Structure 1
Amino acid sequence: MVTEGRQTMTWLFFSPSGRITRLPYFLGWLFWIAIGGFILARMMATQDQDILLALWTLALVVTGLVSTVSFVMLTIKRLRDVGYPGIYAICLFIPVLSLVMFVVLCVWPGIADETPIGRRP
């Protein structure tokens, strides 16, 4: 989904190809956390209404699954930008290591060299 120097949101959130810098990585995570927070707030507001609570719970489960895939794709692209293989994205599923990895990827600058994966964005 890459077109002549322009990348789409689908590429950003759901494609493992290419590289991204720190800012899109952080903003991608922030987007999904905000969506999850909104759904949790709606769940708390509708605790006494069973049908609405069930719908918001379903929305939370679906969003959780979609955001997990997106987190992995964002991390694969970010790992490639700092010079590591995308397979290290598996570390996202190790509780304490995932937080450390997120912080490191948000502050570590990418490599300036062109790699087989592509040039620096």
Structure 2
Amino acid sequence: MPDRPDYLWLFFKTSGRLSRAAYLLSFMFMVVVVSFPLYQYMRVMPLDMTEMAEMAEAPLSGAAQMWSTVFLVTMLVFLWAHIATSIKRVHDVGKPGILVVLLFIPVVSIVAFLFLCIFRGDPGPNPYGVRTNAPANARD
């Protein structure tokens, strides 16, 4: 393992391999981070339907605009992070990263995600890296 955690590699780069545990934990972390601005946005928005009908004509408050923008940016960043971690997980199973496209097909995406969370990766080296949880160019 590396001397220090490389979060830039984990979340944003597509080379290398990723274990089931690291994949699932990174996904759960992303869900928590993306949920925070969504929670803040929902907190400043009215829950009553009559208030929502009145707000249809009025512009959003400054806080609502800010949290919706933060949510959008966070969602886009973690969309890429999810794609990058999924590519590394597919590499660990010994398959090409293009199979991540399956995560964008409804119903199939659930099966593909479960497959990535349940099935073991290749033991030892494979064409995508020498070991799991490391970039492709990492040495033992």
Provide TM-score, normalisation by structure 2: 0.78
What is the correspondence of 1:65-76 to structure 2 with a 5 Å cutoff? 65-76=76-87
Amino acid at match of 1:5: P
- In the alignment, structure 2 segments of 5+ residues that lack a partner are 47-59, 133-140
Q: Distance in 2 between matches of 1:110 and 1:82?
A: 4
Instruction: Report the equivalent of 2:28.
Output: 30
Q: Does 1:52 align with 2:63?
A: yes
Contact in 2 for aligned 1:14/1:73 (Cα 8 Å): yes
Larger mean Cα displacement after TM superposition, 19-28 or 44-53: 44-53
Please identify runs of 4+ aligned residues in structure 1 that moved more than 4 A.
Answer: none
Say how many residue pairs are matched. Answer: 118
Contact in 2 for aligned 1:111/1:120 (Cα 8 Å): no
Deviations 1:44-82 (A, max 9, x none): 111157111110000111111111111110010000101
Give 1 or 2 for the bigger CA radius of gyration: 2
Provide TM-score, normalisation by structure 1: 0.90
Q: Distance in 2 between matches of 1:59 and 1:99?
A: 27
More relative contact order in 1 or in 2 (CA 8 Å, sep 6+)? Answer: 2
Instruction: Report the equivalent of 2:110.
Output: 99
Query: Percent identity over the alignment?
Result: 36
Larger mean Cα displacement after TM superposition, 93-102 or 17-26: 93-102
Contact in 2 for aligned 1:21/1:81 (Cα 8 Å): yes
- In the alignment, structure 1 segments of 5+ residues that lack a partner are none
Query: Displacement of 1:113 after TM fit?
Result: 3.0
Alignment RMSD (CA, Å): 1.6
